[in-house]
Amino acid sequence: MNIAVVGTGYVGLVTGTCFAETGNHVICVDIDAAKVERMKNGEVPIFEPGLELLFERNTKQKRLFFTTDLADAVNQSDIIFLALPTPPGEDGSADLSYILNVADKLGDIITSYKVIIDKSTVPVGTAERVSSVLSNKLDQSLFDVVSNPEFLREGVAVDDFLKPDRVVIGTNSERARKLMRQLYDPFVRQGNPIYFMDERSAEMTKYAANSYLATRISFMNEIANLCEKVGANVDNVRMGMGSDSRIGKRFLFPGVGYGGSCFPKDVQALVHTANEYNYDFKILKSVMNVNTGQKTVLSKNI
């Protein structure tokens, strides 16, 4: 299949490279001309185990390309992934300006049917907003907007993409659904599921998953703090908890709190969404408070 990936950050580059690995023709688009030139010269701009090998193989075999020309990439492609940044605003909401700006540009380019996929982590209702922007310039028959959240972990992102636990696809279009199944079938041959659902549920799934994992981390930090006061060993408690099949061993390690590029902004964004709908998400607010306080706990112990 012919694919364009708009944005060559962490998610975009892993996505484009892994799709090329299964025989697709992939064009990655970025506005940073210097970065594009480096990639054309064989330089991988991020470090991710296993990515460089796939990058080199697929560029040599003429399946993976790089350009700054959005129109050219779109005209050569049937499927367009939007893998653009959604940084947090001052109020905690996700900034959709990059995605909506590209959607507006696509409205000037598209002349035949395309599937446009939100790969970025975006709040509930984003697929509808992208569709609305496109509809200002295009007939609805020329596009479908799909939500396809990523669940990639830094350090094992290539394996996560090639052998996913599950694939979540949000669409109400049968035409888009058939193309998405064809696209992802090579990655789920061992029987892992592709979950089709509506766009809003797919968007919520990503936030719910990350927020739950952040909640586990904050909970375990609270347990660790209490263990210190009562004289219990939190590592023993963690092992005892994690051996319960209903709980599992992952994300039960106490420390200075969660961080990184995803958890803080995703928890904030979900709380912001709840506030927009006048829902008081008490648990997640507590999770954020615990995480903020946890940053000072270690320094006090030292």
Percent of the chain topping pLDDT 70: 100
Q: Tell if the pTM clears 0.85, that is, is over it.
A: yes
Identify the domain boundary among 197, 227, 255: 197
Residue 112's nearest CA partner among 136, 141, 133 is: 141
Q: What is the pLDDT of residues 218-265, one digit of tens each?
A: 999 999 999 999 999 999 999 999 999 999 999 999 999 998 878 999
Give pLDDT, residue 72. 96
Asked whether the predicted pLDDT for residue 298 surpasses 90, the reply is no
Domain boundaries, position 215 = 209-301
Identify the domain boundary among 197, 221, 252: 197
Give pLDDT, residue 93. 86
Give pLDDT, residue 261. 79
Q: C-alpha 129: how far from its chain's center?
A: 18
Q: How many domains does the structure of the chain reveal?
A: 2
Q: What is the pLDDT of residues 182-210, one digit of tens each?
A: 999 999 998 899 999 999 999 999 999 99
Asked whether the predicted pLDDT for residue 301 surpasses 80, the reply is no
Do 40 and 70 belong together in one domain? Answer: yes
Give me the chain's average pLDDT, please: 95
Do 103 and 213 belong together in one domain? Answer: no
Annotation marks residue 262 as catalytic: yes
Give pLDDT, residue 296. 87
Give pLDDT, residue 70. 97
Q: What is the pLDDT of residues 119-158, one digit of tens each?
A: 988 999 999 999 999 999 999 999 999 999 999 998 999 9
Name the active-site residue from 18, 28, 227, 262. Answer: 262
Asked if residue 55 belongs to a domain, the reply is yes
Identify the domain boundary among 133, 163, 197: 197
Do 297 and 253 belong together in one domain? Answer: yes
Do 166 and 61 belong together in one domain? Answer: yes
